[in-house]
Amino acid sequence: MDRRVRRTRDLLRRALLDLILEKGYDRITVQDVIDRADVGRSTFYAHFTDKDDLLLSGLEEMSVTLEEQMRRHLEGGDPNPVLAAFRHADQHRHLWKALAGKRGAEVMRDGVRRRIYDIGLRRLHSVLPEGGPPHEVTFEFLMSSLVGLLTWWIDEDRPYTPEQMADMYMRLAISSVHGAYDVSGQFWKSVQ
């Protein structure tokens, strides 16, 4: 039955997330996960090929809602394009901490990073003016600082609201581009 399958997979995913927050991803064994989820060993391997696979299945779920949320914000003409990301992280703190935080797995951080990069790339490339550093450099600069701020904020439980974080990031990011490319206020408008 489909319901049974989904239930089992959810149990396993949830157990993994809890364990990540407790002891960190790399200290977890498959045995830990199936004990916590109260699921048979062979059942685990019937659903996932290994621990990483289980983890990645969680990322899929998360990045789908993230991308959707970001797209909605962008298409809705939101003045701050990164607000959606900070809001999503705030609403799914538990998930983000486990997946993108310190105790999470490397695989995962790379995954999250790549997702945000992909979303940002589409938009940024058409928005960046000419006459400054190569786009790839500016892109790397802006994306790594965004990912850095996002994960730091969640990981360290800093007491700023998503709106504050997004504002601060955008202010820093926009003026960096503005200064480095030496353009007039037109850039600010095109971002809004």
Q: Which residues form the interface with DNA (CB under 7 A)?
A: 1-5, 7-8, 29-31, 38-43, 45-47, 49-51
Closest Cα partner for 59 from 106, 8, 7? 106
Between CA 127 and CA 129 the distance in angstroms is 6
- Of 68 and 110, the one with the shorter C-beta distance to its own copies is 110
Map the footprint of its own copies across residues 151-170, applying CB under 8 A: 152, 158, 160, 164-165, 167-169
- Of 37 and 147, the one with the shorter C-beta distance to its own copies is 147
Q: Smallest gap, in angstroms, from Cβ of residue 20 to its own copies?
A: 14
- Of 105 and 170, the one with the shorter C-beta distance to DNA is 105
- Of 74 and 183, the one with the shorter C-beta distance to its own copies is 183
Handedness of CA 31, 33, 36, 37 (dihedral sign): negative
Between CA 143 and CA 115 the distance in angstroms is 11
Burial of 1 (0-12, 13-18, 19+ CB in 10 A): exposed
Question: Residue 147 corresponds to which tokens in the numbers above?
Answer: 């990912």
Residue 158's binding partner, choosing from its own copies, DNA, none, with beta-carbon cut-off 5 to 8 A by kind? its own copies
